[in-house]
Amino acid sequence: MSNSALSNWLEKDTMASTASRGVISGVLGGLAGTIVKSAIERFLPVRQPNTESAQLKLVDNISEKLTGETVSASNRDLAEQLVNIPIGVTLGASLGYAKRDRPETNVVEGALFGTTAYLATHETSLPLMGLEEAPKDIPVKLQANEFLAHVAFGITAELVRGWVARRLDD
């Protein structure tokens, strides 16, 4: 598809083009949110020292099943992001699709989106899957840092999603 054909298709006011603009803006918002969240986690500790992240445990488990070995020390940071980025982008795409008809931004909705992501992962599914300790066993400061990073993820995803959506609507 040529650039003009793509532009013409995105300009159409159809369900498919509106949904596409929503998903595209959400994907970019989710990517930006993931970058911000990862940057925050570099400065604010979100887990005990010498504790592997849930993402790394997941990748190590897959790596062991496929190769018989865990991820090498030199590739651990990259492996962690290979889980974070697709999750963040997928969450962002969902946000973009849900708000496909609303290009305006709402910071409160972004904060709630990040809060929901935090609750759905660190407070429930990750402990249930054995990838993270139960919340009662994690120090409050670490939980607060993780929560803050997720709220920043949600706000960033929403701001970027809205900005991109408005540009695609122009």
Share above pLDDT 90 across residues of the chain, in percent, rounded to a whole number: 75
Instruction: Confirm whether 1 is domain-assigned.
Output: no
User: Is 3 a member of any domain?
Assistant: no
Q: What is the widest separation between alpha-carbon atoms in the chain?
A: 55
Structural domain contains residue 9:
no
pLDDT single digits (tens) 36-67? 999 999 999 999 888 899 999 999 999 999 99
Residue span of the structural domain in which 149 resides: 15-169
Q: What is the pLDDT of residues 130-151, one digit of tens each?
A: 999 999 999 999 999 999 999 9
Is this prediction's pTM over 0.85? yes
User: Is 54 domain-assigned?
Assistant: yes
Q: Answer yes or no: is 25 within a domain.
A: yes
**Number of domains the chain is built from:** 1
Question: Could you tell me if residue 51 is left (phi over 0), alpha (psi between -120 and 50 degrees) or otherwise beta?
Answer: beta
- Residues in contact with 159: Cβ distance below 8 Å, sequence separation at least 6, in sequence order: 29, 105, 107, 110
pLDDT for residue 137: 94
116 is a domain residue:
yes
What gap in Å lies between CA 31 and CA 85, rounded to an integer?
Answer: 7
**Mean pLDDT of the 30-37 span:** 98
